[in-house]
Amino acid sequence: MGDRAKSTRIAILREDRCKPNKCNQECKKSCPPVKQGKLCIEVSAKSTMATISEELCIGCGICVKKCPFNAIEIINLPKALDKETTHRYGVNTFKLHRLPIPKLGNVVGLVGKNGTGKSTALKILSGDLKPNLGRFDNPPTWQEILKNLEHELRNYLNQIHENKLKAVIKPQYVDNIAKEANDMIVGRELEKMDERGVKAEVCVDLELNQLLDRKVGELSGGELQRFAIAVTVMQDAQMYMFDEPSSYLDIKQRLKAAQVIRSLLTPKRYVIVVEHDLSVLDYLSDYVCCLYGNPGAYGVVTVPYTVKQGINVYLDGYAPTENLRFRQESLTFKTPQESVEEIQTYARYKYPSMSKTQGDFKLRVIEGEFTDSQIIVMLGENGTGKTTFIRMLARGFIGEDPFQPEAEMMETFVVSYKPQRILVNSNGSVSSLLKKRMVNIHDSQFVSDVIKPLEIEDLMDRNVQDLSDSEQRINASKVIRRFILHNKKTAFVVEHDFIMATYLADRVIVYEGKPSIDCVANAPQSLLTGMNLFLSNLILVMEVDKVRVIDENGLKTFFGHSGHQRDQIDVFLFLLA
């Protein structure tokens, strides 16, 4: 009784998994309150979905174990969150607690797992969704909604309610823009949306001038992202929201986009940014709110922290204001240490100097070597030849033309390649696709290293076409590292998120030169040496005004501003601000 008084129970039913017509309603038959005659679980073979009464549920968890489709979750939350419920979509559905607090003249950054309510929060703050305080069957009035809110948030939502404030959103999935505006011309659309008269300046900053005559449907992922950011910043609004603005962009483009976003700030404007790249988040934000919870079940928004505090809260997985640990493990960033004994056991592979010309683009590769159980991260702008290099390794050619019989050959490598943009052509289930492509899907090591951490088991019955393209960066990085280590393979990874690049990298290949014209792929080098080379080049190009470092102790204080000597910084791990 004491535990019940301190906590509140929510029952979540996954609509895409609950299939009453394909089971024996085990959840209802095994429920103790139902056996006592209470309507705790209501379902029949003709139902489209079961419903669970959270008031009658005793939290025994039997239904969770009995459900053959893993459709049920029973979760205990702190009782105090009941008074801070912002929105719930319906019975046994996702529940959001609290909202980010917009701050005039500042950028508020949001970071957290996908599925914890970031999109819901943006919809509410934009006025597209009226918060119901969890009362989906008896929606509250605006007076009730505003009554107990924090002062800044109350004023903001009141302006949204009275239509005194215009909010615009840069959507998360820019690929949808290409589908909706397929035949539209980039230049014409930008001209149409330029309410602030800044088209010329924005097109220069986001490198859009060469795309003005192209159709929107022909743009690549990075081009679509820059187009979407431009369309958003050109509008005249009081609130600007950007949902993952760095996706598809290389690090230079990310920093330039961040500068464009920050240029929006005035004492009368709000800016909110959802961002998973912590380096970009730090560069952009004045405050950071973390979102935690159970993806698809509930989400909680923390109070706004200073940038340094917020990023360290996220890295540590502990919110001191809540006295709550929301991730079991802290994220640490330690330089990989290899013992002499380990190094001697590695199989070594070498590749010679190579070159490749494709149209006007020329790539020169400096000879290098790599070992098994090693992850090599490739750092460079888009268009510097990272994908071309991988294809050269896969085909095993050295000369200019791999299709000429006299082309000099080297040892070939069997390559499994995950592209940046995933085009899904299969109409079958995830399970059938995996079985078709893989022979070791049920191997215990593979299940432990890959299937379970990526929660693929929950997707097995889903149609491939219905999957979203959201990603869990932390889990994905851990899976890659664990798989490479256990299977004694080598991974070449292109990752523009510096946090994840450093988390993954054993060694680094730095690409230099003019993108799409003439580039060089340097030999693999140590993490710190490679980061120093890449970031020192980037600092000269971008003229950034400060640098931070993340190590195993979290985010450290920045090293100085413009005009200070660059050589005072001995080790760059992240370019953050």
Beta strands in 49-176 (DSSP E): 51-52, 72-78, 85-88, 95-97, 107-112, 167-170
Average pLDDT score over residue span 345-369: 86
Rg (CA), the chain: 26
Tokens 């909010």 correspond to 167
Q: 284-317: buried (b, 16+ CB within 10 Å) or exposed (e) per residue?
A: bbbbbbbbbbbbbbbbbbbebbebbbbbbbbbbb
Conformational region of residue 543, where left means phi above 0, alpha means psi within -120 to 50, and beta covers everything else: left
Whole-angstrom distance, CA of residue 277 vs CA of residue 574:
11
User: Minimal CA–CA distance to 379: which of 200, 239, 529, 169?
Assistant: 529
8 A C-beta contact, residue 304 and residue 110: no
Tokens 């005072």 correspond to 568
Tokens 């760059």 correspond to 572
Given a cut of 60, whether residue 50 has pLDDT beyond it is: yes
Whole-angstrom distance, CA of residue 549 vs CA of residue 571:
8
Contacting residues for 419 by C-beta, under 8 A, at least 6 apart:
none
Q: Which two tokens stand for residue 24?
A: 């024996």
Q: H-type helices in 302-381, by residue range?
A: 307-316, 340-345
Q: 331-367: buried (b, 16+ CB within 10 Å) or exposed (e) per residue?
A: bebeeeeeeeeeeeeeeeeebeebebeeeebbbbbee
Contacting residues for 126 by C-beta, under 8 A, at least 6 apart:
160, 167, 168, 169, 239, 241
Given a cut of 60, whether residue 572 has pLDDT beyond it is: no
Phi, psi of 361 (to 5 degrees): -100, 135
Split at pLDDT 50, 70, 90, the class of 252 is confident
Q: How many Cα atoms are found within 13 Å in the side-chain-facing hemisphere of 542?
A: 25
Whole-angstrom distance, CA of residue 543 vs CA of residue 562:
8
The H or E element that residue 260 is part of is helix 251-262
Q: Which two tokens stand for residue 330?
A: 């802290």
Q: Can you name the residues that pair with 130 across neighbouring β-strands?
A: none
What local confidence, expressed as pLDDT, does residue 188 receive?
A: 94
* 317: DSSP letter: T
End-to-end CA distance of the chain: 50
The model's pLDDT over 416-471, given as tens digits with 9 standing for 90+, comes to 767 665 555 666 777 777 777 676 777 777 777 777 777 777 677 766 655 654 44
Q: Who wins on pLDDT, 426 or 495?
A: 495
Give the β-pairing of 167-170 and 72-78. Answer: unpaired
Contacts of 556-562 spanning 24+ positions with Cβ under 8 A: 557/308
Q: Give all domains of the chain, ordered by start, each with its CATH number.
A: 2-81 (3.30.70.20), 340-422+469-545 (3.40.50.300)
8 A C-beta contact, residue 558 and residue 547: yes
What local confidence, expressed as pLDDT, does residue 158 receive?
A: 95
Q: Which two tokens stand for residue 374?
A: 């090693």
* 397: DSSP letter: B
- The share of the chain scoring above pLDDT 90, in percent, equals 45
Longest dimension (CA), the chain: 83
Does the pTM exceed 0.85? no
Whole-angstrom distance, CA of residue 413 vs CA of residue 341:
26
What local confidence, expressed as pLDDT, does residue 413 receive?
A: 64
The model's pLDDT over 209-245, given as tens digits with 9 standing for 90+, comes to 999 999 998 888 889 999 999 999 999 999 999 999 9
Whole-angstrom distance, CA of residue 521 vs CA of residue 536:
16
Crossing angle of helices 221-234 and 251-262, in 10° steps, is: 10
Whole-angstrom distance, CA of residue 352 vs CA of residue 215:
41
Whole-angstrom distance, CA of residue 77 vs CA of residue 7:
5
Q: Which two tokens stand for residue 40?
A: 């705790």
| Mean pLDDT over each residue of the chain, to the nearest integer | 82
Average pLDDT score over residue span 399-423: 54
What local confidence, expressed as pLDDT, does residue 471 receive?
A: 45
What local confidence, expressed as pLDDT, does residue 170 receive?
A: 94
Split at pLDDT 50, 70, 90, the class of 178 is confident
User: Which three-class secondary structure state does DSSP give residue 386?
Assistant: helix
Contacting residues for 447 by C-beta, under 8 A, at least 6 apart:
none
What local confidence, expressed as pLDDT, does residue 560 receive?
A: 32
